[in-house]
DNA sequence: GCAAATTAATGATTTATTCAAG
DNA sequence: CTTGAATAAATCATTAATTTGC
């Protein structure tokens, strides 16, 4: 019972190209500084060739980057997955650090619009980024907590920077709770379905996480 | 009976691939360890340049370094005050839209570091921006509330992106609210208007978040 | 020094769970 | 008890980063 496929909705998020430049040029450069970029103009060919179905022979050559001289860098024909730039990652982490966990459509749209300045990006990329980042931070934390079976406290105490001064609460908090449904609505055009928006109160938090904290993670 | 409805809802972006291939989208680069923090983040280094001093010592800071950047509103007069760039404003509004109101020191530090990429900025600028923006949104809202009554249904508005999703849920605290499950709207078309209405009740203190949302529309 | 081969991250999908409505 | 909605967990897939061999 779950669902079947259907693809309908989606379309509107699909990227629109930023204005004109996207800049971000960087890419290449294997190690060290990373700045990838792409200049990929065009592209959006979503059509997809399905090269992937080619299989990957066990060890056969894969994509290597031997194309160095040609004028085009690959251009990756069909399209590939989103490749965030430093700016994009920085902003996303900033948002995450601020407490954002599952942005709703409106927010995704807004974020996407902003990040689009630094490189090609679509709403779904933003959505997935939050999903994955959240999940992986959780794993990471879980791993650590296990590993540290004995430390008295020392959670990751990282920054104790803090600042305090009044306030204490600002936005975040809300680390990830296990289950908390946050609001989102996949509304697509008008259907009649009215979504009830209900909410569940949140958290049941397990594990406390002091802070999202991911200073330099990755 | 309701099956069809369902379809819309679920439609993630392209969802399943039918039989064999296909795929959907792809594009840029994904993984790899990046350290954004260290690598590029060095806004400092950049700033350390101090072009400003080169240029107009007496006039004060300017941000001009070669930014390719897009439009910059800054006409900055050369004064000493912070002159935000479009990117900076966009990001700040995005954070505000996400619910951030009074970032703590750590967050300010982080935000400042990120925004430093786009132009000269100091932590206090970030702090003041939030203070001022919050206060001014509140004023604006107060004015509007007098003149306007929210229309409940706004039929026409369907397309407009707008909406407010009530708290979006991100970070903030959610003390209240009866409604709990949230729904996300991915396509931004219809969201729940009702929600917005109700939202008014909830926000006690933070005053609603109608998102400032700049009309960038797309 | 290159570039194939390997590894590590992480984007994108799929599946399972959870909660609420009917 | 069944069904819809939404998220988290698990998994798959791809490519940047590294290592290795010449």
Closest CA to A201 of B142, B131, B186, B176: B176
pLDDT tens readout for residues A122-137: 999 999 999 999 999 9
Strand (E) positions, chain A? none
Q: Is A76's pLDDT higher than 80?
A: no
In B68-97, the residues whose Cβ lies within 8 Å of chain A are 68, 70, 87, 90-91, 93-95, 97
The two tokens of residue B140 are 């604006």
In A129-158, the residues whose Cβ lies within 8 Å of chain B are none
On whether the CB atoms of residues A189 and A161 are closer than 8 A, the answer is no
Contact between B170 and A171 using a beta-carbon 8 Å cutoff:
yes
pLDDT tens readout for residues B38-90: 333 333 333 222 222 222 222 333 333 333 333 344 444 556 899 899 889 99
- Taking contacts as CB-CB distances below 8 angstroms, the residues of chain A near B161 are 106, 109
CA of A196 to C1' of C21 (A): 9
Question: Which nt has its C1' nearest the CA of A104?
Answer: D6
DSSP lists the bridge partners of residue B27 as A80
pLDDT tens readout for residues B88-125: 999 999 888 888 888 888 888 889 888 888 889 999 99
Residue B115, burial from CB neighbour count under 10 angstroms (0-12, 13-18, 19+): buried
pLDDT tens readout for residues B18-38: 333 233 333 333 333 333 333
Closest CA to B162 of B191, B139, B182: B191
Greater pLDDT, A147 or A192: A147
- Taking contacts as CB-CB distances below 8 angstroms, the residues of chain B near A3 are 6-7, 10
Q: What is the pLDDT of residue A174?
A: 36
On whether the CB atoms of residues B38 and A216 are closer than 8 A, the answer is yes
pLDDT tens readout for residues B137-172: 988 877 776 665 544 433 333 333 332 333 333 333
CA distance B9 to A194: 11
CA distance A138 to A145: 10
Closest CA to A94 of B115, B132, B128, B206: B115
Q: What is the pLDDT of residue A79?
A: 66
**Residue closest to C2 C1′ by Cα:** A66
Q: Does B173 touch chain A (CB under 8 A)?
A: yes
On whether the CB atoms of residues B139 and B106 are closer than 8 A, the answer is no
**Residue closest to C7 C1′ by Cα:** B32
CA distance B210 to B203: 11
Average pLDDT taken over every residue of chain A: 51
Q: Does A19 touch chain B (CB under 8 A)?
A: yes
Dihedral sign for Cα A131, A132, A137, A138, please: positive
Average pLDDT over residues A11-36: 34
Chain B nearest-CA distance from A88, in A, is: 10
- The overall pTM is greater than 0.85: no
CA distance B173 to A102: 14
Cα–Cα distances in Å, from A43 out to B26, B30, B212? 10, 17, 33
């Amino acid at each position: 019972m779950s669902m079947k496929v259907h693809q309908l909705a989606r379309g509107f998020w699909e990227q629109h190209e930023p204005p004109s430049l996207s800049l971000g040029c960087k890419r290449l450069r294997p190690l060290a500084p990373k700045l990838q970029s792409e200049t990929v103009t065009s592209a959006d060919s979503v059509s997809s060739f399905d090269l992937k179905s080619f299989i990957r022979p066990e060890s056969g050559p894969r994509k290597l980057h031997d194309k160095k001289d040609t004028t085009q860098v690959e251009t990756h024909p069909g399209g590939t997955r989103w490749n965030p730039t430093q700016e994009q990652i920085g902003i996303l982490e900033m948002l995450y650090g601020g407490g954002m966990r599952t942005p709703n459509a409106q927010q995704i749209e807004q974020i996407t619009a902003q990040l689009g300045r630094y490189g090609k990006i679509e709403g779904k990329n933003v959505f997935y980024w939050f999903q994955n980042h959240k999940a992986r931070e959780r794993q990471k934390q879980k791993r650590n907590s296990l590993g540290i079976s004995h430390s008295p406290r020392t959670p990751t105490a990282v920054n104790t920077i803090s600042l305090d001064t009044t306030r204490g609460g600002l936005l975040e908090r809300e680390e990830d709770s296990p289950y908390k449904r946050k609001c989102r609505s996949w509304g697509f055009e008008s259907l009649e379905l009215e979504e009830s928006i209900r909410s569940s109160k949140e958290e049941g938090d397990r594990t406390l996480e002091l802070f999202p904290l991911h200073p330099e993670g990755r």
